[in-house]
């Protein structure tokens, strides 16, 4: 932002909360699909590229929406952290529809929890006041192309 790589006029919004809660995660998905916050009554920018930084479990991944000529779009999750699951390399996972994108986000989140964190999640309901201590907490910032 300070270097004007991500200008403020392209900023869509921010969201966060419990990454396993449909309502919280759906805010991010909606911003990625429509290119604007759900609370704003602006026209959809489905044909424009949208990108997000997803902060989760002390790591940041990138998400981009790639619009296609036929009106559909792809969603890519890019993780620069080397992983043993992909031979010690970074990964880029492409989803060809919204349902697979939502599934990928839930899988990605679930794959980052340790056994003790899963036990905590099973034993505790989400509490906004305790989010600093909850492994489910995420935050995301979304930008789009200008029209």
Using one digit for the tens of pLDDT, what is the confidence trace for 92-128?
999 999 999 999 999 999 999 999 999 999 999 999 9
Mean pLDDT of 18-30: 95
Instruction: Give the number of other CB atoms < 10 A from CB of residue 62.
Output: 14
The 8-class DSSP code of residue 132 comes to G
Both tokens assigned to 91: 């990964």
Confidence of residue 43 (pLDDT cuts 50, 70, 90): low
**pLDDT score recorded for residue 7:** 73
Q: How big is the CA angle at 87 (ends 78 and 60), to the nearest 5 degrees?
A: 25
Q: What's residue 139's pLDDT? A: 96
Q: What is the DSSP letter of 41?
A: -
Would you place residue 68 in the very low, low, confident or very high pLDDT band (cuts 50, 70, 90)?
A: very high
* 50 class by beta-carbon count within 10 Å (0-12 exposed, 13-18 middle, 19+ buried): buried
Cα radius of gyration (the chain): 16
Please measure the distance between the N-terminal and C-terminal CA atoms of the chain and give it in whole angstroms. 19
């Amino acid at each position: 932002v300070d270097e004007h790589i991500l200008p403020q006029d392209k900023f869509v919004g921010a969201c966060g909360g419990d990454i396993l809660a449909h309502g919280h995660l759906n805010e991010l998905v909606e911003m990625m699909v429509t290119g604007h916050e759900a609370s704003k009554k602006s026209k959809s920018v489905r044909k424009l590229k949208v990108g997000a930084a997803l902060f989760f479990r002390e790591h940041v991944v990138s998400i981009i929406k790639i619009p296609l000529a036929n009106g559909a779009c792809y969603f890519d999750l890019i993780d620069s952290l080397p992983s043993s699951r992909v031979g010690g390399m970074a990964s880029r996972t492409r989803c060809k529809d919204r349902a697979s994108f939502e599934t990928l986000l839930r899988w990605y989140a679930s794959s980052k929890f340790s056994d003790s964190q899963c036990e905590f999640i099973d034993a505790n309901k989400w509490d906004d006041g305790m989010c600093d201590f909850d492994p489910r907490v995420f935050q995301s910032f979304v930008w789009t192309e200008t029209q």
